[in-house]
Structure 1
Amino acid sequence: MSSNELPSPVDSAWLEAHLGDPNVVVVDATTHLSFPDGKPAIESGEQSYRAAHIEGAVFADLLTDFADHDAAAPWTVPSSEQFAAAAGALGIGDGAIVVIYDQHDGYWATRLWWHLRFEGFDSAVVLDGGLPAWQASGRAVTDAESTPTARTFTGVRRPELIRSTEDVAAALDDPNTILVNVLDPASYRGDNSDAPRRGHIPGSVNLPVSEIRDSETGELKSVDQLRTLFTEAGLLDTDRTVVTYCGGGIAATGVAHALALAGRDDVAVYDGSMSAWSSNPDLPLVTGPSPR
């Protein structure tokens, strides 16, 4: 099977049928993020993975192995060398077909999907609906240990798929760049926070990441539905550059992934997102509804 034969995203039936393929590497990318007392609490998903995962799946720790340890913010992109070593140790590399899932709403999975593409690896897909959909369909999970077969990861970075704070600031007056805030409308407007720095980056439009999924099943809307959504928002206009952002660079990858399914695979992600932007008092923020 080649990467060209992969459905994207894959569903639980497809994955179950291919679990025995030695070139199919299943990756659990779960991370836990909660907001007790309104402050973010971040925890590795490793214990949850060990308790229950898809048979044969390996665990990718996005907080440690796939992040820059010296960066101020969690999940910051590390060096290509660190990424290649971490990916290769899990069996992600030359000749592999990678299927990624998480135990939440899928955006940890899309974060790793985006990161793989950023590092030049295209043979990765996301399990639609993640572990919740897998279990809802009656398929089994296990706590049995999985031992990866290491591979060599080779790839060339695609710098056009990422933006820094400086890049975003420089493009504020560029009419050919669309900044897309994927947070909920209240967060976008800035009316649900007591923080002194709230709101959104000037000129950005609001397309909540929740709009790309079916509210009942948690699975992605159809490609036709996604295309309609993105066309109405002006995001499929290839004459314009699309940059997505959120709170910390996770949910933004969910919309980038959905846009790729709809035919727009050149979308960039602002890695630092609002965590980085709002921490700099010299950078502007505005409040109010989206012009979209």
Structure 2
Amino acid sequence: MNDIPLIVTTEWLEEHLYDPKLRIVDATVFMKFPEGGGPPNLETGRASYEKGHILGAVYADLLGDFSDKDSDLPFTVPTRDEFVKKMTELGIGDDTYTVIYDQNALVGESVAASYWASRLAWQMRYEGFNNVAILEGGLQKWQAENRGLSTEQQTYPAADFSGKRRTEMLATKEDVRQAMDDEKTVLLNSLSPEEFQAAHIPSSTNVFFGAHADEETKSLYHEDQLRASFEETGALDPDKKVITYCGGGIAATWNALLLNNLGQPNVAVYDGSMNEWASDPSCPIIKSEA
């Protein structure tokens, strides 16, 4: 299948569930915020996957297998060889297409966004796995609609892969430095308005990643509403490039995916995001005076 959309519905997935070329991936990571504040604790979603997942799904460990273990930052892309090796071991390659979901697993926060799924989808597309989509509403929507779960541990034969890395999809710290003074580039902060006001990269604008879907149904808002959210920032201007960023390069991939889905192809994700930017004293930050 060469025409898979970037986002598929639960109905679409159920109709294609038994396609032998389909690979379903659970990419859940649990992000838990301490009661007294501070950085979130990250936990793998493997145990939750084993308790119940969509039939045919395999688990992709973003914490252990799909992040650079040698990086000082919690999430950055691993080496291409390592990423491709892990993907093909899961059975994902040239003759397959992939649908990724997660559990909207931001514990303690009410945000409807499949940002872990979009993170893995972005990494896959960055490495040249182009036939990939995310499931709208994730596992929560699937279960709310009384669609079944399985505890069967799925495996697939190892696959072959011949795609090429799309370097234009990843932005570095130096790319962001240049973008601050480039009117043809939109720097898009994907965090909440409060976090944006507290600290952001100069010249950047803000579209909250958690404002694109209904918190109860997990369904995306109508395209007109999504378009309106981005248009006022200039991010949908076809003559401009967009660099999305957030705290650690996760939520930024959700905004990037939605921009692509709205017809803006010129989007890169700043992988290091504020974790990297704020740790470098030479990088300017606009901070709230409050």
Q: Same fold (TM over 0.5)?
A: yes
Q: Which of the numbers 15, 33, 39 marks the counterpart of 1:35?
A: 33
| Letter matched to residue 98 of structure 1 | T
- C-alpha contact (below 8 Å) 2:6/2:257 kept by paired residues: no
| Letter matched to residue 41 of structure 1 | N
- C-alpha contact (below 8 Å) 1:182/1:208 kept by paired residues: yes
Q: Which runs of 5+ in 1 are unaligned?
A: 191-198
Encode CA deviations 1:17-50: one digit per residue, 9 max, x unaligned: 1111110000000011122132221111111111
* Counterpart for residue 14 of structure 1: 12
- C-alpha contact (below 8 Å) 1:97/1:124 kept by paired residues: yes
* Counterpart for residue 131 of structure 1: 139
* Counterpart for residue 177 of structure 2: 169
| Letter matched to residue 144 of structure 2 | A
* Counterpart for residue 237 of structure 1: 237
* Counterpart for residue 3 of structure 1: 2
* Counterpart for residue 258 of structure 2: 258
* Counterpart for residue 278 of structure 2: 278
Q: Which of the numbers 150, 153, 160 marks the counterpart of 1:152?
A: 160
Kindly tell me the number of residue pairs found equivalent between the two proteins. 279
Query: Which stretch shifts more, 88-97 or 161-170?
Result: 161-170
Query: Which stretch shifts more, 49-58 or 144-153?
Result: 144-153
| Letter matched to residue 35 of structure 1 | F
* Counterpart for residue 193 of structure 1: none
Encode CA deviations 1:122-150: one digit per residue, 9 max, x unaligned: 10001000000000000111222111222
Q: How far apart are 1:266 and its partner, in Å? A: 2.3
* Counterpart for residue 249 of structure 1: 249
Instruction: Specify the SS of the correspondent of 2:269.
Output: strand
| Letter matched to residue 75 of structure 2 | W
Instruction: Specify the SS of the correspondent of 1:248.
Output: coil
- C-alpha contact (below 8 Å) 1:252/1:269 kept by paired residues: yes
For normalisation by structure 2, the TM-score amounts to 0.92
Counterpart Cα distance in 1 of 2:219 and 2:2: 22
| Letter matched to residue 234 of structure 1 | G
* Counterpart for residue 77 of structure 2: 77
- C-alpha contact (below 8 Å) 1:46/1:61 kept by paired residues: yes
Q: How far apart are 1:288 and its partner, in Å? A: 4.5
Q: Which of the numbers 1, 19, 22 marks the counterpart of 1:24?
A: 22
Counterpart Cα distance in 2 of 1:102 and 1:121: 19
- C-alpha contact (below 8 Å) 1:84/1:154 kept by paired residues: no
Counterpart Cα distance in 1 of 2:194 and 2:180: 22
Q: Which runs of 5+ in 2 are unaligned?
A: 105-112
Is 2:96 the partner of 1:88? no
- C-alpha contact (below 8 Å) 2:179/2:187 kept by paired residues: no
| Letter matched to residue 24 of structure 1 | L
| Letter matched to residue 74 of structure 1 | P
Encode CA deviations 1:192-223: one digit per residue, 9 max, x unaligned: xxxxxxx0001100110122222332222233
Query: Which stretch shifts more, 6-15 or 78-87?
Result: 6-15
- C-alpha contact (below 8 Å) 1:177/1:240 kept by paired residues: yes
- C-alpha contact (below 8 Å) 1:30/1:108 kept by paired residues: yes
Instruction: Specify the SS of the correspondent of 2:200.
Output: coil
Counterpart Cα distance in 2 of 1:168 and 1:234: 17
Q: What is the CA RMSD across the aligned residues, in angstroms?
A: 1.4
* Counterpart for residue 109 of structure 2: none
Counterpart Cα distance in 2 of 1:156 and 1:224: 34
For normalisation by structure 1, the TM-score amounts to 0.92
